Structure 1
Amino acid sequence: MENQQHQGRNGAAAAAPTAENRFSVLNCIDLSSPDTQSSVSLLKQACLDCGFFYVVNHGISQEFMAEVFAQSKKFFELPAKEKMKVLRNEKHRGYTPELDELLDPENQVHGDYKEGYYIGVEVPEDDPEAEKPFYGPNVWPSSEVLPGWRETMEKFHQQALEVARAVARIIALALDLEADFFDKPEMLGHPIAVMRLLHYGGQVSDPSKGLYGAGAHSDYGLITLLATDDVYGLQICKNKDAQPQVWEYVAPMQGAFVVNLGDMLERWSNCIFK
């Protein structure tokens, strides 16, 4: 499961949508709605159709979301020397520089025009659980350099995980399972929940030259919650087997998460959900 917080441009096309660009219409799930059956129906249709939908009224305040984005910006504005002090380790925690990740090797001439920061579930180094892959202590910038940064990100990580659990309960119902299926200890009771802060610079993606903010990919986990700023850039392809592939912009929606299903849930649903 992954939670991503994006700033700047993303995706596989030009920096700003034009009249010729296609826009995707996605279902919107209101987590505060008392009409559970309607939410299940909307989500199920989205999962059968393309695996993308919006989630609104999720309980994280707009003010706190703005604070998370502001704190994220502060980190990425640090000098490169300072950011390299918290370079990603073998547990996939910490900073990833621009061009560090290559998501679509077949079509990219080099890595993504993005930099990022991985944060996972905090597990002390002396805890036996820390021996597992993706478990262990996080890497944090100095509190002298970024006071309050760690506290903000830990709080957001916890709140976003609760949103993910709420979404998972609706997914369970859409799969004709008990609502608490994913709450079990072996499922999301102790999840590998990764939060990534992502920053895209001013470079414009140019697919004809193999240059991308983030190359085409599918996520590998259960679900991803994606919080974006107001810059267009995220694109989705509803049918990866189509020739040619059709890429559509997803409009930013203030206060919403864009949710997309990962490979694991597609496999678990016997490829019924996309």
Structure 2
Amino acid sequence: MSTTQTETETYVHYHDGGVPGRRRVLTGKAAKPTFSAVPKIDFRRIYSDKLEDRQELAKEVGAACRDVGFFYAVNHGVDEAVLEDTFEAVKKYFDLPTEVKMETHNQKTEKFRGYEAFLEGKLDPSTRGDLKEGFLMGEDFTDPEQLALLSPASLPTSLTSAPRNQWPSHPSALFFRPAIYRYYTSMFHFSKRLLHIFALGLGLPETHFDAITTHPMTNVRAVHYPPQHSDADVGIGAHTDFCWFTLVCQSRTAYPALEVLNGNGIWIPVQPQPASFVVNVADFLKLVTGGTWQSTVHRVRNMGGEERYSMPFFFSPNEDARVGVVEHLRKGDKKYEDIGVGEYFQKRLDIDRTTHLDGDGKEGERKRPRY
């Protein structure tokens, strides 16, 4: 179950780094200092030509990453028309007939790219499945839209041989790919700037991570959450993200659906805010900071009676990179090991994309449907 109770204690259950975990719910005198809201940070300074302005922004970002692991990026500067147009395209896509969407069913690819139907994902084993449908695309260096964003010299030939993404080919769905790539391009450029702010927030040169982000792993997941009518359901179970960081655009709903878990095991709502992204630290930033920054557990419960749409953009290091704790955050004689980005990513993907379609095979085996 997502919450369990003993005679004297209550625990919240989640996946952290792909590993099941739990956190005791602390109230009253047992409660400890922790956050009760997600901070808002004005990001107009990210475009300043003055290093001191960007350093000031980075100081605020670093504090939010250390204390919360989430923040609102207000006044981010990304064209609002692009965001609105993408939401309209996402809604239109999910309104398409099921057979059109199932052309690109994600079980047809090793990277789980394409369409995911309702209840197929299941991050919380106590539920009947994640009450959502989604479409996932990601780094694919056979897509010309992505090649235009990268230096040809940065592309390892071993990663460019076969397509990874699936795109719908039905005439009614041809609008979707260009819309997603307009969004992808805007978020890619913003993420490059944001990575510099994270570096400054760690007391590093702002280009410190550039060498391992020349051909980054990237994903856009368009998600549709219908209204939930039962407390036993969840839009997506409690988890952490496996990338550098995540940028989330939420559709405007009166009742918040995204929730983050604070240190006392209390779920804090993250209300949609105009002209803002929700940004969260993910596993790789937690890793390189030696746990100084929080990859905070979060979930979605869409209990407000409205249709909800979300467009998270995930930004990661190069697939063939290795990452480890930065030198000045290493403690004493403790031994640290670098982690291969691609290997870690695939491990988490296999865990987080387990579906009911896997059947009753032995643990670790995947049973794919036949087409």
The TM-score by the shorter chain falls in which range?
0.7 to 0.9
User: How far apart, CA to CA, are the structure 2 residues paired with 1:25 and 1:50?
Assistant: 7
| Ranges in structure 1 where 5+ consecutive residues have no aligned partner | 1-11, 13-21
- Write out aligned runs for 1:86-235 (5 A): 86-88=104-106, 89-105=109-125, 108-124=126-142, 128-130=158-160, 136-142=163-169, 144-184=171-211, 187-204=212-229, 206=231, 209=232, 211-231=233-253, 232-235=256-259
For 1:20-47, what per-residue CA distance to the aligned partner results, in whole angstroms no more than 9, with x for missing partners? xx96241314144532232112101101
User: How far apart, CA to CA, are the structure 1 residues paired with 2:94 and 2:121?
Assistant: 17
1:170 alignment partner, SS class: helix
Question: Bigger relative contact order, structure 1 or 2, given CA contacts below 8 A and separation 6+?
Answer: 1
Measured after TM superposition, the shift of residue 152 of structure 1 is: 1.5
Matched, 1:51 2:31: no
User: How far apart, CA to CA, are the structure 2 residues paired with 1:189 and 1:29?
Assistant: 27
> Which of 259, 264, 272 is residue 284 of structure 2 equivalent to?
264
For 1:199-227, what per-residue CA distance to the aligned partner results, in whole angstroms no more than 9, with x for missing partners? 00122451xx3x21111111111100000
For 1:136-184, what per-residue CA distance to the aligned partner results, in whole angstroms no more than 9, with x for missing partners? 3421112611243211111211211111111111110011111011222
For 1:216-251, what per-residue CA distance to the aligned partner results, in whole angstroms no more than 9, with x for missing partners? 111111100000011221111122xx3xx1001112
> Which of 260, 263, 269 is residue 236 of structure 1 equivalent to?
260
Which stretches of structure 1, 4 residues or longer, exceed 3 Å deviation after superposition?
31-34
Measured after TM superposition, the shift of residue 96 of structure 1 is: 0.6
> Which of 16, 30, 43 is residue 43 of structure 2 equivalent to?
30
| Ranges in structure 2 where 5+ consecutive residues have no aligned partner | 1-13, 15-34, 144-156, 295-371
- Which AA in structure 1 matches 2:131? Y
- Residue 218 to residue 183, structure 1, CA distance change in 2 (3 Å): same
RMSD: 2.1
CA contact (8 A) 2:139 2:217 kept: yes
> Which of 257, 267, 271 is residue 247 of structure 1 equivalent to?
267
- Residue 181 to residue 205, structure 1, CA distance change in 2 (3 Å): farther
For 1:70-121, what per-residue CA distance to the aligned partner results, in whole angstroms no more than 9, with x for missing partners? 000111001111111111122221001111111222xx32211011101112
Measured after TM superposition, the shift of residue 194 of structure 1 is: 0.8
CA contact (8 A) 1:28 1:54 kept: yes
Normalising by the residue count of structure 2, what TM-score does the alignment of the two structures yield?
A: 0.61
Query: Which residue pairs with 1:82 in the alignment?
Result: 100
User: How far apart, CA to CA, are the structure 2 residues paired with 1:102 and 1:152?
Assistant: 28
Normalising by the residue count of structure 1, what TM-score does the alignment of the two structures yield?
A: 0.81
- Residue 203 to residue 115, structure 1, CA distance change in 2 (3 Å): same
- Residue 261 to residue 205, structure 1, CA distance change in 2 (3 Å): farther
- Greater share of strand: 2
User: How far apart, CA to CA, are the structure 2 residues paired with 1:79 and 1:164?
Assistant: 34
User: How far apart, CA to CA, are the structure 2 residues paired with 1:248 and 1:96?
Assistant: 27
